[in-house]
Amino acid sequence: MIILGLTGSIGMGKSATAALFRDHGVPVYDADAAVHALYAEGGAAVAPIEDAFPGVAEGGAVDRQKLRARVLDDAAAMKQLEAIVHPLAGEAQLDFRRKAKDAGAAFAVLDIPLLFETGGNRHCNYVLVVSAPPDVQRARVLARPGMTAEAFEAILARQLPDADKRARADFIVSTAHGFSFARDQVRAIIALMNRIARGETE
């Protein structure tokens, strides 16, 4: 089974692009959703995160806003959080891969925001980067509820620059011209992945 890593900086349209693959029946692992499940009531990350950052859990679940306030501007705290969450998320990803392979999928998509930053690209056959111009990206992010320019800049500082991601990509999907345009790009990539999975070459 071919593994296609899908990534992109905040506001680039990564999640919407992942949904286009899902719409075509391609198995998609959503790293953000996996982390949400770990943070939710009964999630495996709740107790260790509360131990590391007392007061961020309420009602048996991690309060993401409280957690963000504790770690966003603290590199050591962020590393401590990642040391807790990444192994648990890795287990969820392995489970996804097993299920997709057992279902006979020709290829599967790993939707991971920090794919390059965490070295996850090493476990992918190909990498797709979703991109858009900086002004489009900024407008999208600042339109989100509760988002500030300061928080946006802090998030960007943790992410590999878009130009670097694009330079390392096997495929680039642009969302600058709307998702109808992006859908056509995704269809072409799906067709290519299926041909490669069948052993066909260009």
What pLDDT tens digit does each residue of the chain (202 aa) get? 999 999 999 999 999 999 999 999 999 999 999 999 999 999 999 999 999 999 999 889 999 889 988 887 788 998 899 899 989 988 999 999 999 999 999 999 999 998 998 899 999 999 999 999 999 999 999 999 989 999 899 888 888 999 999 999 999 999 998 888 899 999 999 999 999 999 886 5
Question: How many domains would you assign to the chain?
Answer: 2
Domain match, 23 and 122 both = yes
Q: Which domain holds residue 71?
A: 31-104
- Residue 171 phi, psi (nearest 5): -135, 145
Give the residue from 63, 84, 104 where a domain finishes: 104
Judgement on whether residues 125 and 152 belong to the same structural domain of the protein: yes
Regarding whether 76 and 174 lie in a shared domain, the answer is no
Residue 74 sits in the same domain as residue 172:
no
Helices (H), the chain: 14-23, 31-39, 46-52, 64-71, 75-102, 134-142, 149-158, 162-168, 179-197
Q: What CATH number does the domain containing 75 carry?
A: 3.40.50.300
pTM of the model: 0.86
CB 137 within 8 A of CB 14: no
Instruction: Let me know whether 80 and 21 are in one domain.
Output: no
Judge if 112 and 202 occupy the same domain.
Answer: yes
Residues 134 and 200 in one domain: yes
Statement to judge: residues 123 and 142 lie in one domain: yes
- Taken in order 103, 107, 111, 115, the sign of the CA dihedral is positive
pLDDT of residue 90: 87
What CA–CA distance (Å, rounded) separates 16 from 30?
A: 11
Residue bearing tokens 């057992």:
102
Q: Is there a single domain that holds both residue 43 and residue 3?
A: no
**Distance, CA of 89 to CA of 40 (rounded, Å):** 13
**Nearest to 160, CA basis, from 18, 9, 6, 15:** 9
Strands 57-58 and 61-62, by their bridges, are antiparallel
